[in-house]
Amino acid sequence: MVQLTESDIQTREILDYRGLHLFHYSMSSCSQKLRAFLNVKGVDWEPHVIDLSKQEQNDPWFLGVNPRGLVPVLVDDGAVHIESNDIIAYLERKFPDPVLIPRDQQAAITTLLAREDDLHLDLRLLSFRFVHGRNGSPKSPEVIARYQSGGSGTVGGEPDTHKHRELAFYAQLARDGITDAAVQSAAAKFHAAFADFEQRLGAQAYLIGPDLTIVDIAWYVYAKRLTLAGYPFDRLHPKFAAWFSRLDAQSALNAAVETPAPLLARIAENRRAQVDSGATLAAVAGL
Ligand SMILES: N[C@@H](CCC(=O)N[C@@H](CS)C(=O)NCC(=O)O)C(=O)O
């Protein structure tokens, strides 16, 4: 569990927040997962939007909230939690109904969620290029410098190395862009995960059994994003596509992943350009 200690937090006013507060963003997949989880639980929370498109996550104020400069962040009566899967595990204990992490499947779920988290930077790459139509870094050198020097640099009172991983990701993006080879590697990882789920769905209604769990919510969010990116689910994984449609019909879930209308229009434009140039996700990744 990743709960920040007071010495990690420079933006001291959040320590006085009472009740449940969420720092989040509409198009952040980890925020979408957490919002869907809270919707299914029927839990209310106070929103604090951090606009990732304006790089607000790298402003000194927010780096004083989360030294990693990432959303989501949960503040519960002044206790500050980061890392979406840890936040979810914490909230499952606090709000046990309906059960989304069944006790007898806890170990399997932890493993599957860790696998999902490991694919996060791959999702970000595919999302940048095929959803947002961007092939370089969205962070200017000034933003990177602010990110590098901002925040306490500690998590749980210990020097934190997580930020280095983020900085390396953005340095590589600025240097190389999003190459076809990187797209192929990322898409292959998702293809393997979806092929695995396709098999499981032959025998059960949800990804790990007969009932909806947090694993379904997490992969629903990824599938939503990759649908926007043009991943050909219907053709490659028809059972998974049918599972997605069933989940997408639930308002608790689809409300959490709604794409703002202006962005939808830009995504459609990006798709047209990719089709015209023969460089869709399916074509580049050889799917
Ligand atoms: N492992 C973290 C990942 C959090 C993360 O990468 N959040 C993204 C949005 S989904 C973010 O804040 N990105 C900001 C950036 O890349 O600068 C979690 O599960 O909370």
Q: What is the pLDDT of residues 1-40, one digit of tens each?
A: 689 999 999 999 999 999 999 999 999 999 999 999 999 9
Residue 17 lies in a domain: yes
Residue 187 lies in a domain: yes
Looking at the chain, the whole-number percentage of residues with pLDDT higher than 70 is 100
Smallest CA separation from ligand 1 atom 11, residue: 70
CA angle 39/42/45 to nearest 5° reads 75
- How many whole angstroms from 276 Cα to the centroid of ligand 1? 32
- The pLDDT mean for the chain works out to 97
Q: Is there a contact between 216 and 206 (Cβ–Cβ < 8 Å)?
A: yes
- How many whole angstroms from 181 Cα to the centroid of ligand 1? 23
Confidence tier at 87 by pLDDT (50, 70, 90): very high
In a shared domain, residues 49 and 131: no
Ligand 1 atom closest to the Cα of residue 139 is: 17
In a shared domain, residues 85 and 119: no
Is the alpha carbon torsion for 23, 26, 31, 32 positive or negative?
positive
Beta strands in the chain (DSSP E): 20-24, 46-49, 73-76, 79-82, 154-155, 158-159
Residue 79 lies in a domain: yes
Residue 251 lies in a domain: yes
Q: Give the model's pLDDT for residue 35.
A: 98
Q: Is there a contact between 154 and 160 (Cβ–Cβ < 8 Å)?
A: yes
Residue 261 lies in a domain: yes
> What is the count of structural domains for the chain?
2
Q: Is there a contact between 147 and 163 (Cβ–Cβ < 8 Å)?
A: yes
Question: pLDDT tens, 192-229?
Answer: 999 999 999 999 999 999 999 999 999 999 999 999 99
The pair phi, psi for residue 154, each rounded to 5°, is -125, 150
Residue 169 lies in a domain: no
In a shared domain, residues 225 and 130: yes
In a shared domain, residues 115 and 49: no
In a shared domain, residues 113 and 224: yes
pLDDT exceeds cutoff 90 at 85:
yes
Residue 146 lies in a domain: no
Question: pLDDT tens, 13-22?
Answer: 999 999 999 9
Which residues form the domain of 277? 106-135+178-285
Q: Which of 85, 101, 117 is the last residue of a domain?
A: 101
DSSP state of 122: H
In a shared domain, residues 251 and 110: yes
- How many whole angstroms from 204 Cα to the centroid of ligand 1? 31
Q: Give the model's pLDDT for residue 198.
A: 98
Q: Give the model's pLDDT for residue 1.
A: 67
CATH number of the domain bearing residue 28: 3.40.30.10
Q: Give the model's pLDDT for residue 2.
A: 87
CATH number of the domain bearing residue 255: 1.20.1050.10
In a shared domain, residues 124 and 42: no
DSSP state of 55: T
Smallest CA separation from ligand 1 atom 12, residue: 70
Ligand 1 atom closest to the Cα of residue 25 is: 9
Residue 214 lies in a domain: yes
In a shared domain, residues 128 and 265: yes
248 lines ligand 1 (CB under 6 A): no
Structure tokens at 171: 């340095």
In a shared domain, residues 124 and 217: yes
d(CA 17, CA 19): 7
- Please compute the mean of the pLDDT values over residues 264-286 and round it to a whole number: 97
Scan for tokens 């049918």, then name that residue. 242
Q: 170: closest CA among 125, 226, 114?
A: 125
30 lines ligand 1 (CB under 6 A): yes
Q: Give the model's pLDDT for residue 167.
A: 97
- Please compute the mean of the pLDDT values over residues 258-286 and round it to a whole number: 97
- How many whole angstroms from 206 Cα to the centroid of ligand 1? 26
- Please compute the mean of the pLDDT values over residues 144-169 and round it to a whole number: 96
Taking CA atoms, 151 is separated from 19, 171, 251, in Å, by: 24, 19, 37
In a shared domain, residues 92 and 206: no
- How many whole angstroms from 30 Cα to the centroid of ligand 1? 7
Taking CA atoms, 49 is separated from 20, 40, 54, 230, in Å, by: 14, 21, 11, 27
Ligand 1 atom closest to the Cα of residue 87 is: 20
Beta bridge pairs of residue 76: 20, 79
CA angle 199/33/21 to nearest 5° reads 160
In a shared domain, residues 16 and 80: yes
In a shared domain, residues 81 and 124: no
